[in-house]
Amino acid sequence: MRIVIALGGNALLHRGERPDAAVQESNIDRVTSAIAALAHDHEIVVTHGNGPQIGLLAAESAADPALSAPYPLDLLGAQTQGLIGSLLVRSLHDALPGHRTIALVTHTLVRADDPAFEHPTKFVGQVYPYDIASALARRRGWHIAADTTGWRRVVPSPAPRRVLETDTVHELLAGGALVVCAGGGGVPVTADADTGALTGVEAVVDKDLTAALLAEELKADFLLILTDVPCVYADFGTPAQRPVLGATPADLRRGRFPEGSMGPKAEAAARFVERTGGLAAIGALDAAYEIVHGASGTLVRPDLPVM
């Protein structure tokens, strides 16, 4: 079975942890143990979030007096693909002796006129108290929004239209490799209508929506979205909160999950299942093997045909 795994940003950096390199390196073994258990029997493609890492690099770039202007988000996204990809490949090398593993920097095509550029929603960077976040927003020209425990920077998140290196990923899979790619949703680029020339844009593409698109293009059988909760919850955070263990795309859309957290994951799972007839699941990182085998998480299956 061909499985595309989308790792949440919590895979390398948990909420409240310092964004030190050593912290992320220590967390990576937990990630690769979950992947290795599946890689023995299945073809695996891994995508990952980059919210904490790109936010840190953006803050460092904005504060660097040696720069005349901060680095744009597309280039910072490419840096995070290399950083996180290297950590994953090194750990997978040890967890899967003899298994070919490669990290590939990929680019995701978006539309220059996507309305998301006018309505930033994608969280990046660390959580701040409101007074600090608002001061940073004034000083650096950021947009900010409330997250679950504080305030964070938000940036545009245009819809992914195509992962430009999909054919290369196909070839690597055919050669028996485990491929890490489309990290942070991929480097967002637009293409000139006449020449096809690529231009990076100031945005971060949602990694779950990119993972769903990539899984569709790769003809994957299963999209596995791993995060920091064991399953999808209806009425999350309220006294009526309850686990959703099985759902259809229509069920997920009726849930109206928050844009900044479960919303993109639910939409990604719904899109993949609708467009391919395959299966998707959302659940906890530590339970990846159990989720694929139906013992944990929220399984998303196709809508039953109307009789």
Coil/strand/helix, residue 235: coil
Q: What are the structure tokens assigned to 207, written together? A: 């990694």
Nearest to 295 by CA among 279, 283, 280, 303: 283
CA distance 53 to 292: 28
- Tell me which amino acid residue 49 is: G
Nearest to 267 by CA among 291, 249, 289, 286: 249
- Tell me which amino acid residue 241 is: Q
Give the burial string for 274-287 (b: 16+ CB within 10 Å, else e). Answer: bebebbbbbbbbbb
Question: Catalytic residues, which ones?
Answer: 9-10, 122, 207, 265
CB atoms within 10 A of CB 185: 33
Query: Kind of pairing, strands 178-180 and 43-48?
Result: parallel
Give the position of tokens 């290795």.
36
Full DSSP string of 174-235: HTT-EEE--GGG-EEEEE-TTT--EEE-S----HHHHHHHHHHHTT-SEEEEEESSSSEEET
Please give the distance of CA 237 from its chain centroid, rounded to a whole number. Answer: 23
Which residue blocks in 40-149 are alpha helix, DSSP H? 51-63, 73-95, 130-140
